């Protein structure tokens, strides 16, 4: 990784102190860093006490067979009891757990007492279908309450779930069903997206025709849209019939802290998807702790909303397990941000008085593109902490988020973590950290991360390299499902004794961490390593640019040439001379070496459903190659759109 192109992020000098009222009442203060540094394991043992254990653990970490960790190994607990029942027992049964907002505008408030009844019924139903402790259940659902209930019901009976994105194809679903050997699938007839019912069940039917998925015994189908669904008698069952007739009381059984909780597949760039395995006690400890610390959640008064999809790890950790373990009241929204209008999210914030909002940089940049006047039309004064996750957030988007959504007053927490880490790892604390837009800044209390060079030596402040995690953490992945060797090779072989995350990063003069994107995305231009994140960030700092995606395309002269795809703010047509102006702008921000050779204005960028730009596909376009696998794209049609805009011959210098 280079140091030469880091000028832009490093010259970002804006600083934002935490608001006095947040600091005064903060759940976690600066003292936490000291306590954790003094005795890291004791710090985590203390966090584990936020949970209700049937048998308290006496052991914190067993690291005798690294990197196979055991956390709280002799403790026993039930995750669903922790997320639901104990809040009812504490007298909070009437507190709303979930404010569901359907895309068509229907809504439903579910209290903790109701959630307890529905999770109990669903747990009975799964048992009736022969699902035993340890059996895997696949969940393929839209963003409806039953998705959360299904996950909690699995957790309640100790059956690890494998949630598959509702937008994934039948093939992707079949591969995941086969790898996990799931025998029951929970789905729905469909869900509402972009103003219309969108079918899900047919994809399940198709997936189950694949030989690998033929062992599925039952499909439990939630009726959401009421659309016609093909039906296989004997195999398919309606949720409202099968779950609806079960008893409303169910006694949760405690499981070992290391009992598998879920498998979640990450696609990565090559090879078959990796089934990331998370277990029970350590995972729940860290998601509950980080949600409490980083969002400063006050369960009695806050209304929390995470806009992620349930099929993404953010949905698992920060829609389901973290917030519910903490007894939060949260919003669950089914649809897209612009249905029926571009202000839908802000209308929801106003309607429910959302105080804590967690979303992705891509969404923030899309809102920037739609214009400042959209959020300005709503009362967003309830908001008090804003979070970001999924990609590096460039300083311009960070500042816009704080200004136009947070009313210039809220802390913004940029949280770095991965499916593999299970929970947040590097993030500011809203009541403590002097915030730097664009930087995730510091490992959370109890977390050890650093940036190293090619040889694994820690780099000096002011230098860049590879982000590594140097000590085990409670919510770490335990392995790749069925493939310990791949687990070792992928994460633990690049640097001896350390976890390698695959991300590039840089430490600034204060030692704060700035994420630079996946190392696979780093470009090599005339012998210089240049990070895509930084060129994108430089482009977005130009007032005309809302969003940018940069790739390195093979080039005979310079090894790779920088190609940028940009979305213009306000969607206005491209003025003459803009491309030249943008190239000059990047050159000024980062130096002439980082100047894109080609810049193309587009209407959309190819993104995964979790909001990450698929640079691989843009590289295919930039190199005039046939497109690779597009099945994980939100909208495969985007690629045709971009291709149709390509000039027949690339514009040269
Ligand atoms: C939670 C999640 C993980 C990858 C990760 C990194 C990128 C996530 C980030 C960030 C910079 C942040 N990433 N958060 N990069 N700043 N705050 O996104 O999990 O889908 O597994 O992706 O996302 O590249 O390695 P996952």
- Report helix angle 637-645 to 615-622, nearest 10: 30
Over 90: is that where the pLDDT of 358 sits? yes
**Is residue 340 predicted with pLDDT exceeding 60?**
yes
**3-state class of 115 per DSSP?**
helix
Q: What is the mean pLDDT of residues 486-490?
A: 96
Name the closest-CA residue to atom 10, ligand 1.
Answer: 391
Query: Residue 545, annotated ligand binder?
Result: yes
Q: Give residue 515 CA to ligand 1 midpoint distance, Å.
A: 9
Is there an atom of ligand 1 within 6 Å of 314 CB?
A: yes
pLDDT level of residue 189 (50, 70, 90 thresholds): very high
201 pLDDT more than 50: yes
What tokens appear for 465 in the block? Answer: 């390299």
Return the HEC string of 599-649.
EEECCCCCEECCCCECHHHHHHHHCCCCCCCCCCECCCHHHHHHHHHCCCC
Q: Is the pLDDT of residue 454 over 60?
A: yes
The pLDDT value recorded for residue 636 is 65
User: Which atom of ligand 1 is closest in space to residue 418's alpha carbon?
Assistant: 19
Mean model confidence pLDDT for the chain: 93
Indicate the top mutation candidate among 267, 390, 476 to test ligand 1's pocket, ranked by most ligand atoms within 8 A of CB: 390
Q: CATH code for 523-644?
A: 3.30.300.30
Ligand 1 midpoint to CA 517 (Å) = 8
The helix (run of H) or strand (run of E) holding residue 568 is: strand 559-568
The model's confidence at residue 620, banded by pLDDT at 50, 70 and 90, is confident
Q: What is the DSSP letter of 97?
A: E
Q: What is the CA angle 592-598-604, rounded to 5?
A: 125
- Protein residue with least CA distance to atom 1, ligand 1: 418
pLDDT tier at 633, thresholds 50, 70, 90: low
Residue 392 annotated as part of some ligand binding site: yes
Q: How many CA atoms lie within 13 A of 147 on its CB side?
A: 29
Nearest CA to ligand 1 atom 4: 418
Q: Who wins on pLDDT, 470 or 574?
A: 470
Mean pLDDT of 242-250: 98
Task: Give me the pLDDT at residue 194, please.
Answer: 92
**In angstroms, what CA-CA distances link 413 with 71, 210, 391, 504, 546?**
27, 43, 13, 20, 21
pLDDT in tens, 307-323: 999 999 999 999 999 99
Residue 542, annotated as binding a ligand: yes
Percentage of residues of the chain with pLDDT beyond 90:
81
Peptide bond into 441 cis (omega under 30): no
Q: Which two tokens stand for residue 162?
A: 């494998």
196 marked ligand binding residue: yes
> 49 CA to middle of ligand 1, Å?
28
- Centroid of ligand 1 to alpha carbon of 305 (angstroms): 19
Domain segments of the chain as ranges: 523-644
The pLDDT of residue 624: 79
Does 116 show up as a binding residue in the annotation?
no
CA–CA gap between residue 133 and residue 280 (Å, rounded): 13
Which pLDDT does position 645 carry in this prediction? 58
Q: How many angstroms separate the alpha carbon of residue 350 from the centre of ligand 1?
A: 29
Residue 476 has pLDDT above 90, yes or no: yes
Is the shortest distance between the CB of 501 and ligand 1 below 6 Å? Answer: yes
Closest ligand 1 atom to the C-alpha of 517?
A: 24
Residue 2: pLDDT band (50, 70, 90) is very low
Instruction: Examine the pLDDT at 363 and tell me if it is beyond 90.
Output: yes
- Whether the pLDDT of residue 630 is over 80: the answer is no
Please give the radius of gyration of the chain, using alpha carbons only, rounded to the nearest integer.
Answer: 24
Q: Check the annotation: does 414 bind a ligand.
A: yes
Q: Which of 268, 262, 321 is nearest to 138 (CA)?
A: 262
- What are 406-440's pLDDT values in tens digits? 999 999 999 999 999 999 999 999 999 999 999 99
Residue nearest to atom 11 of ligand 1 (CA): 392
Pairing relationship of beta strands 499-507 and 464-469 according to DSSP bridges:
antiparallel
Confidence tier at 651 by pLDDT (50, 70, 90): very low
pTM of the entire structure? 0.92
Q: How many CB atoms lie within 10 A of CB 474?
A: 27
CA–centroid distance, 529 to ligand 1, in Å, is 21
- With a pLDDT cut of 70, the percent of the chain lying above it is 94
Whether cis (ω within 30° of 0) applies to the bond prior to 564 is no
C-alpha 391 – ligand 1 centre gap (Å): 5
C-beta 439 within 6 A of ligand 1: no
Has 417 been labeled as part of a binding site? yes
**Mean pLDDT in residue range 505-527:** 92
Q: Is 388 annotated as a binding residue?
A: no
**How many angstroms separate the Cα of 201 from the Cα of each of 128, 166, 187, 264?**
22, 10, 7, 21
CB of 416 closer than 6 A to ligand 1? yes
Mean per-residue pLDDT for 49-78? 98
The pLDDT assigned to 572 comes to 64
pLDDT for residue 527: 85
Residue 314 CA, ligand 1 centroid: distance in Å = 10
pLDDT band at 239 (very low <50, low <70, confident <90, very high): very high
pLDDT level of residue 623 (50, 70, 90 thresholds) = confident
Tell which atom from ligand 1 comes closest to the C-alpha of 388: 17
């Amino acid at each position: 990784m280079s140091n030469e192109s880091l000028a832009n992020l490093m010259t970002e000098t804006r600083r934002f102190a935490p608001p006095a009222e947040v600091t005064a009442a903060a759940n976690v203060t600066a003292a936490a860093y000291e306590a954790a540094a003094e005795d890291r394991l004791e710090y985590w043992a203390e966090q584990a006490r936020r949970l209700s254990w049937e048998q308290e653990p006496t052991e914190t970490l067993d690291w005798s067979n690294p990197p196979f960790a055991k956390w709280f190994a002799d403790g026993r607990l039930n995750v669903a009891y922790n997320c639901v029942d104990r809040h009812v027992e504490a007298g909070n049964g009437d507190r709303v757990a979930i404010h569901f907002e359907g895309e068509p505008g229907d809504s439903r408030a579910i209290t903790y007492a109701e959630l307890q009844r529905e999770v109990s019924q669903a747990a009975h139903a799964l048992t009736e279908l022969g699902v035993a402790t340890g059996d895997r259940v696949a969940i393929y659902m839209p963003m409806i309450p039953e998705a959360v209930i299904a996950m909690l019901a699995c957790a309640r009976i100790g059956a690890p779930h494998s949630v598959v994105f509702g937008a994934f194809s039948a093939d992707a679903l079949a591969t995941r069903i086969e790898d996990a050997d799931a025998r029951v699938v929970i789905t729905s007839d469909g869900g509402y997206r972009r103003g219309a019912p969108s079918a899900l069940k047919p994809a399940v039917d198709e997936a189950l025709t694949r030989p690998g998925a033929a062992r599925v015994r039952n499909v439990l189908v939630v009726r959401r849209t009421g659309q016609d669904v093909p039906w296989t008698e004997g195999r398919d069952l309606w949720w409202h019939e099968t779950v609806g007739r079960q008893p409303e009381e169910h006694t949760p059984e405690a499981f070992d802290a290391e009992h598998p909780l879920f498998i979640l597949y990450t696609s990565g760039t090559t090879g078959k998807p990796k089934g990331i395995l998370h277990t029970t006690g350590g995972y729940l400890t860290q998601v509950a702790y980080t949600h409490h610390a980083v969002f400063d959640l006050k369960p009695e008064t806050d209304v929390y909303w995470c806009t992620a999809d349930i099929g993404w790890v953010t949905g698992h950790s920060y829609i389901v397990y973290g917030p519910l373990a903490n007894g939060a009241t949260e919003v669950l929204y089914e649809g897209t941000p612009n249905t029926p209008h571009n202000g839908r999210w802000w209308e929801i914030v106003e309607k429910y008085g959302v105080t804590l909002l967690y979303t992705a940089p891509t969404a923030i940049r899309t809102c920037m593109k739609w214009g400042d006047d959209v959020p300005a039309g709503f009362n967003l004064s309830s908001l008090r902490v804003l979070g970001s996750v999924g990609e590096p957030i460039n300083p311009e988007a960070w500042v816009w988020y704080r200004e136009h959504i947070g009313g210039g007053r809220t802390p913004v927490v940029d949280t770095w973590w991965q499916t593999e880490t299970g929970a947040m790892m590097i993030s500011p604390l809203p009541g403590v950290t002097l915030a730097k837009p664009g930087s995730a800044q510091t490992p959370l209390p109890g977390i050890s991360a650093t940036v190293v060079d090619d040889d694994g030596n820690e780099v000096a402040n002011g230098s860049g390299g590879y982000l590594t995690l140097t000590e085990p953490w409670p919510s770490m992945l335990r392995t790749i499902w069925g493939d310990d060797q791949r687990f070792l090779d992928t994460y633990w072989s690049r640097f001896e004794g350390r976890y390698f995350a695959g991300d590039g990063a840089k430490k600034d003069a204060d030692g704060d961490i700035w994420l630079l994107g996946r190392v696979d995305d780093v470009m090599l231009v005339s012998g210089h390593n240049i990070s895509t994140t930084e060129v994108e960030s430089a482009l977005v700092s130009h007032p005309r640019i809302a969003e940018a995606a940069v790739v390195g395309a093979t080039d005979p002269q310079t090894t790779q040439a920088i190609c940028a795809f940009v979305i213009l703010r306000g969607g206005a047509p491209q003025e003459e001379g803009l491309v030249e102006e943008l190239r000059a702008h990047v050159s000024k921000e980062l130096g002439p070496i980082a100047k894109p050779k080609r810049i193309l204005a587009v209407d959309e960028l190819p993104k995964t459903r979790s909001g990450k730009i698929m640079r691989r596909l843009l590289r295919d376009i930039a190199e005039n190659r046939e497109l690779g696998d597009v099945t994980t794209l939100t909208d495969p049609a985007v690629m045709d759109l971009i291709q149709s805009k390509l000039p027949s011959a690339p514009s040269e210098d």
